[in-house]
Structure 1
Amino acid sequence: MIPYGGVAEAGAISQDWRGEDLSLYLGRCQVDTPDDLVALTWREVAARREAIGKVVDFGAGDGRFARGGNYSAYVGYEIDWRRCGDGAPSKRATIVHRCAFSEQINDADVCIGNPPFVRNQDLPAGWRKKVAERLEARSGVRLSGLANAWQYFFLLSLVSLAPDGLCALVIPYEWVSRPSAAGIRRFILAARWDVDVYRVADSTFGGVLTTSSITLVDKRSRNGRWRYFSDNGAGDFRALRSESGSDEGLIPFEPASGSDSARAMRGLSPGTQRIFTLTEPERARMGLLIGEDVVPCVTSLRLLPEATSDLDQDAFYRFFRASGQACWLIRSDASPSDRVLAYLSTFSKDDYATSTCLGRPVWWKFKMPATPSLLVATSFKGFRPKVCANSAGAKAVGGVAGIFGLDPDRRHRFMTMMAERDLSDRVVAHAKGLRKIEINQLNALLAST
């Protein structure tokens, strides 16, 4: 170990990171935890532990979690030497400039902190594969390929605890229901550890589009009890009836049946929408031809009026083309024209430096999705997500899901049901008043029509 603010151990860093991968990663993950949230986290830890021996923080940042708590020793791991600062946060604290996954710990009394939030698309493929294999060897959990960075740190914290240890992390509240975190939930359920999840106010992290939580997993208590709480904005929490807050609980997750042609599918994730989707002015400026070079797409239904039940050509023109929305998707299923190649050549490797693009033989060549009969906004405010027919033949991209395989009668029943049901308290809060319905929740609703 090295003292707080010491010189980096470059050898430990280079084992897991290439320089360009590290720079990209650090540019997307550094968000400071507000002091009041640090204090709230320690308050909940203190309610469960009177005295603490060893504390480990696998995403230490500037070491702010070391400033609270009644512990004997704190060890923080931070891969970005610029975050280490000049002064020790506590005489009992040590910061190690090293990848958090480079050592194996199994005796922590408390694992605490705010793991980095980096999308799975932005995680270096080599690092992700290596770390996933290490975690699976220790836990038996195979993380989803859609897991974001904080899930790797969450699982690392769980396996690094002593048999009676306590995990206390600031992570997205959506982990309680998100399919990509199902493996971690099963791991906790099988061990019968107690779980308390405190949903904090959306304003906690101003620029982060997710609802945060203080999640506590207590290995000492083996009752298999899960409890959920919601912040009133003043540091006090009220108990929730379920993870979504309602008596009925979450809309169930049901994969589409193999015997049923009707199914929901997530919107295309081409690697980076910034490159592969264009507005009408961008398309015109580059001289890209409709049909030959680009096809219609929608990345959001936000501007589509609630009363518009069909995205026909007129609606597509008014609310997407004329309003400057991203509405054209580069065709990747045909030989690119000189126009498309000229457009793609305007971008450097830094512009498409996502694991999705860099992991393809040809960085821009993605699989073109089919055209859905219905479009659904997976994020929504109010009572329900927007649903519309797709007469314009637009591809579903990003946060817009597609519904396939419905005959006209069933399509009408599904749209009627979605227009009448209040789903707001049966979907977990996502961010800033938004709720996010998952693909297999849509499949469950389809199965009920």
Structure 2
Amino acid sequence: MIFESVLDLGAGDGRFSHVKGIYGHYTGIERDSKKVDTAQLPPNARLVVADALAWKEGGFAVCVGNPPYIRHHGLDNDWRNVALESIVRDGGPQLKKTANAFVIFLTQALLRTRADGLVAQVIPYEWVSRPSASELREYIRANGWDVSVFRFESDIFPTVLTTASITIIDKASQHGEWKFGFITREGEIRYSGRASGTSSHVLSYKNGDPTCKGIRGLSPGGQDIFVLTEEERLFHSLRKGVDVRPCVVSLRAIDETVDRLDKKSFDKLFVQRGAKCWLIRSDKPRPSLQLQRYLDGVPEPSWRRYTTCANRRLWWQYKPHPKPGLLVASGFTGKRPKSLVNEIGAIAVGSVYGVLFEPATEAAIVQRVFEGLRAYDFGRRLVHHSNGLKKVEVRQLNTVLAELILN
């Protein structure tokens, strides 16, 4: 089969144009003029120096591409806003401002292909479930297009912590069918039941309930500044409970047989191992003389590189964070993330989630939820990241907590 015209958004040096015998004419859009100037193209191909999201020419039979993997935090605000407004004006969906770059590129690809066109993109597999792409998925479903998403079993982008996929959207088909599968190391396609890769639905996203909810770990503005080891605490003469408090930034080194974090286990697993486990109490309005001396000794270039610190009135004063009843890792490789009953009252920091309960919650209920987390097969209901890594989002954790608290 020969496609009359092919569009490549974010074409780089136009390497997709070198696939012979499948297209009549190729148009690549690339913002970097240096890549265009050095490109070697077939006679029926052209590269245009332009912004792919500002490109208005449409009616292409196929749109291919390997768009940049840039999370919304790294996008220029003005560029993103113009791109999102342009998509809406051209009849596309109103995407969230949290949509990553590849979601915006994929939407543009749908708008620039003809009514019976085909879109084929190499993009992160996560778009099939993440809330930041929900408007795009609804737009595709509303149009009844068929979607096939095949994730690579091998790690083709080792520097990016996400699972790559080939996503194919067939606008000519009006069955609204979504198919999922794997591309093996040998290049063979193996179909799976659902987006999770199993027979189970991907966990939905739910807001927390006051009775029992998960919260993200505290992001004070740089763990190298705000979280200390025991040796660092002693060096700066900072007092436990006054200047610092226990915290957990990772459960990676914790054996799965450990189920409670009390003073004894905290000392053994964190303090004595030299782990960063003391959160400075700069959430208080008036730090002690020792703590203020420590804060004054942090060089400005060190804290100013963190946007969180630079945007505060006092760069070091973060908002107080609650003591969770349970600690849960966000990432894992087996069936479920590690979790602990938080008897010592450590603060969850960074990639560790906290589970909050109402103050009057009985210990038996906390234990029941904990045991439920320890038995729940998260792995079957998540879209996996790269290298076997799985990650549960905090709102997905809330979905599981809601199930457990009701049972």
TM over 0.5, yes or no? yes
Q: CA deviation at 1:90?
A: 2.7
Structure 2: give runs of 5+ residues left out of the alignment: none
Contact 1:287–1:339 (CA<8 Å) still a contact in 2?
no
| Partner SS, residue 123 of structure 2 | strand
Instruction: Give runs of aligned pairs for residues 397-408 of structure 1, distance below 5 A.
Output: 397-405=349-357, 407=361, 408=363
Change (3 A) 1:58 1:323: farther
| C-alpha spacing 1:191/1:272, structure 2 compared with 1 (3 Å) | farther
Match of 2:47, SS?
A: strand
Offset of residue 228 of structure 1? 0.4
1:375 aligned residue: 327
Query: What residue number does 1:17 align with?
Result: none
1:151 aligns with 103
1:411 aligns with 2:366: yes
Per-residue CA distance 1:30-56 (angstroms, 9 max, x = gap): xxxxxxxxxxxxxxxxxxxx2223322
**Equivalences for 1:192-211 in 2 at 5 Å?**
192-211=144-163
Matched, 1:447 2:398: no
Structure 1 residues 233 and 192: CA distance shift in structure 2, 3 A = same
Moved more, 272-281 or 227-236: 272-281
Verify the 8 A CA contact 1:77 1:98 in the aligned structure 2.
Answer: yes
Indicate the residue corresponding to 2:377 in structure 1.
Answer: 422
- Return the letter of the residue paired with 2:368: R
3-state SS in 1 of match to 2:385: strand
Distance 1:364 1:129 in 2: 32
Match of residue 257 from structure 2: 307
Distance (Å, rounded) in 1 between the aligned partners of 2:129 and 2:280: 33
The question of whether the paired residues in 2 share the 8 Å contact of 1:105 and 1:161 is answered with no
From 42, 65, 78, the equivalent of 2:16 is 65
Match 1:237 to one of 167, 189, 193: 189
SS of equivalent residue, structure 2 residue 43: coil
CA contact (8 A) 2:13 2:38 kept: no
Counterpart of 1:388 in structure 2: which amino acid?
L
Q: Is the 8 A contact 2:25 2:44 kept in 1?
A: yes
Is the radius of gyration larger for structure 1 or structure 2?
2
The answer for the alignment partner of 2:347 in structure 1 is 395
Q: Secondary structure at the match of 2:270?
A: helix
Query: Residues 379 and 435 of structure 1 are in contact (CA less than 8 Å); yes or no, is this contact kept in structure 2?
Result: yes
Query: Residues 121, 330 of structure 1: CA spacing in aligned structure 2 closer, same or farther, 3 A cutoff?
Result: farther
State the secondary structure of the residue aligned to 1:253.
coil
> Which of 190-199 and 358-367 deviates more?
358-367
Name the residue aligned to 2:66. 114
Q: 1:435 and 1:158, CA in 2 relative to 1: closer, same or farther beyond 3 A?
A: same
- The number of aligned residues is 395
Residue in 1 that maps onto 2:389:
434
The SS at the match of 1:343 is coil
Structure 1 residues 41-440: aligned runs within 5 Å = 50-68=1-19, 70-84=22-36, 86-139=38-91, 141-257=93-209, 260-269=210-219, 277=227, 295-329=245-279, 333-334=283-284, 337-347=292-302, 351-352=305-306, 367-405=319-357, 407=361, 408-440=363-395
Structure 1 CA distance, aligned partners of 2:309 and 2:89?
28
How many Å separate the matches in 1 of 2:204 and 2:187? 31
Q: 2:386 is aligned with what amino acid?
A: A
**Which letter maps to 1:401?**
Y
1:382 and 1:170 mapped to 2: Cα distance? 27
| Aligned residue type for 1:73 | H
